[in-house]
């Protein structure tokens, strides 16, 4: 024999199950729409290998790699020169990154709905 409370709980569980299935369907549709928007906005492979970034890496990387052994192994270099060179390289990297970020922000579409 079923108790009246079991009947009430059974009907409530069935209603909740139906609501969860409906919500699951809505989430599925929302996720598909969101992934479609992301695919539409995703950068292409040509944009990800921007030659300006490669040029910046070469411009900052080669002098850093050459100056470290030249300054560190040269006995005629004064103490503290290595720190000055490293500080200059870090400051150059920061300024270059700031310029590229400003360029990236300036090149964005003005009608983009970014938050």
Q: What pLDDT score does 48 carry?
A: 63
Least confident of 1-10, 56-65, 87-96: 1-10
Q: Which residues contact 89 (CB under 8 A, 6 or more apart)?
A: 60, 63, 64, 67
pLDDT digits (tens, 9 = 90+) for 98-115: 888 898 888 887 765 555
Q: Is 114:70 a contact under the CB 8 Å cutoff?
A: no
> pLDDT tens digits for 1-44?
556 666 666 777 777 777 777 777 777 777 778 777 776 665 55
CA nearest neighbour of 96 among 43, 65, 54, 40 = 54
Q: Which of 92, 81, 22 is nearest to 56 (CA)?
A: 92
pTM for this prediction:
0.38
Residue indicated by tokens 């139906």: 18
């Amino acid at each position: 024999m079923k108790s009246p409370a079991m009947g009430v709980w059974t009907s409530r569980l069935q209603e909740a199950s139906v609501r969860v299935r409906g919500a699951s369907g809505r989430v599925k549709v929302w996720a598909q729409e969101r992934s479609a928007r992301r695919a539409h906005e995703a950068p292409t492979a040509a944009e990800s290998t921007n030659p300006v970034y490669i040029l910046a890496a070469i411009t900052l990387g080669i002098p850093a790699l050459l100056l470290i052994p030249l300054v560190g192994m040269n006995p005629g270099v004064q103490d503290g020169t290595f720190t000055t060179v490293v500080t200059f390289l870090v400051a150059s990297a920061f300024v270059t990154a700031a310029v590229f970020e400003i360029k990236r922000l300036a090149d964005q579409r003005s009608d983009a709905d970014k938050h």
